[in-house]
Structure formats: C-alpha cells, structure tokens
Chain A
Amino acid sequence: DIQMTQSPSSLSASVGDRVTITCRASQIIITYLNWYQQKPGKAPKLLIFAASSLQSGVPSRFSGSGSGTDFTLTISNLQPEDFATYYCQQSYSTPPAFGQGTKVEIK
C-alpha cells in the first residue's frame, strides 16, 4: 500500500499569510494527488484534484503543485475561513490513502 506523509502536522499563521503544506508519497503516483479541507464536525471538502486542478467553486488563493512523490498545497492570502485541517490523498492505486493531516491554526 502507498503511504502518504504530510508536513508539518500543524502550523500557526495569520490572516493574509502565505501557507505551504507538503505531502510525500511512499512511491511514485504521477499526479494522482488530491487535497481536502476539513472543518470540525464536517465532511472533507475537495479543493484540488490531479495535483493542480482547482475544484469548481474553490477560491483561486488555493493552488497545488508537484508530481512523482512530492506535492505542495499553497494558500495565498490566508482568510479566516481557511483555518481548518488539510489532507492529501493519493488516487493512483487501491487503497486510496490519505495523509495524517495538517492543522492550520490562528497565530
């Protein structure tokens, strides 16, 4: 099975900051990498699919990059509603594994 490792596990940032979250796959997954945002008590929400494609309705301050094994989610101009936990997920092979999450907290 492919393992997904995110870093950092948590970070503190201020409104207006640029935030970067990293995800590494245990083997090459090409660009089969997706990013989700989850707020407490809610379901995950798809933000980015295929490493860099923005899901419909998601603000353009969210962007994704990477290929192979290393991927990045960037949030530019962090907004109050962006404080949440973010997960990466590989969709290259079964089982479609998630990372352990990165919690973005208010500084």
Chain B
Amino acid sequence: EVQLVESGGGLVQPGGSLRLSCAASAFTFSNYWMHWVRQAPGEGPVWVSRITTDGSATTYAGSVKGRFTISRDNANNTLYLQMNSLTAEDTAVYFCARGYSSRPASAFDLWGQGTMVTVSS
C-alpha cells in the first residue's frame, strides 16, 4: 500500500528539541519532493518546509526558519524534521506530504496520518 507513516511526536518543554520521521512505502520515494505541513488544534493546515528529490535544496516557512531542519534518506525511504528551540506556538499535528509535482509550491497528493507535537511545561 502506498503510504506515509510519521513518528516521533510527543510532549516537549519550551526550548526543547524533537525529531520527526516519516517512512514512505510502495512508491519511488526518491522521485518526489517532500513536505512537512502542520495543523494546530482547530486551525487550518500550514506549510512548514520542503526538500527536493536529492535533498540538495530546502525551504522553510518564516516561522520556523533557523529552528527546523528538513532532511531525507532516500536509501531508507525516510523524511525527517529536526525541530529545535520549540515554543508553544509549534504545538500542532505534523503531517508529512508528497508533492504532486516538482514545483516549489505544489499540491499534496499523499499524506501521512500525522504525529502530535505538544510544547508545554
């Protein structure tokens, strides 16, 4: 089955760090730009970051630039999001999503189930 499965979420204190993973299966992961999208409780989705097929280029939303790092391991079909200096405003469900096209902005045609990140003392 074509799918994305996130892991690594949890409760973290303000200022802390967390690393999310997204395991891809049943499609050629290395052919797709990949993205992270987050959704705070009761809010709409917000794009966070993207990475090109070979990992050579990355882009971030202004709210996370300098704190979050996206990366990928094509040999193991896995996408990552390293999150540092977390604040309460980063509390959300984090989804990994596949870019429908290799455009900097894209539709997202495959989503994971999401992993909850809660930043609280």
Chain A residues in the interface with B (C-beta under 8 A) = 32, 34, 36, 42-46, 49-50, 55, 87, 89-101
Contacts and interface: CB of A to CB of B under 8 A. Distances in A.
A70 B46 CA distance: 21
Given A43-B112, A43-B114, A44-B111, A91 B105 contact: yes
Contact of A46 (B59, B109, B113): B109
User: Chain A's interface: helix, strand, loop or mixed, by majority?
Assistant: loop
Interface of B: 43-47, 50, 59, 61-62, 95, 100-101, 103-109, 111-114
B106 to A, nearest CB: 5
B77 to A, nearest CB: 19
B39 to A, nearest CB: 8
A49 B104 contact: no
B100 A49 contact: yes
Nearest to A49: B107
Given A43-B113, A46-B107, A91-B105, A96 B47 contact: yes
B106 A95 contact: no
Contacts of B114: 43
Nearest to A45: B111
A96 B44 contact: no
A87 B107 CA distance: 12
A42 B104 CA distance: 25
Contacts of A42: 113
A91 B47 contact: no
26 contacts: A32-B105, A34-B107, A34-B108, A42-B113, A43-B95, A43-B111, A44-B108, A45-B111, A55-B109, A89-B107, A90-B105, A91-B101, A91-B103, A91-B107, A93-B104, A94-B104, A94-B105, A95-B47, A95-B61, A95-B105, A96-B47, A96-B105, A98-B44, A98-B45, A98-B46, A101-B44
Contacts of A100: 43-44
Given A36-B108, A87-B44, A98-B45, 12 more contacts: A34-B107, A43-B111, A46-B100, A46-B107, A87-B45, A91-B103, A92-B105, A94-B59, A95-B47, A95-B61, A95-B105, A98-B44
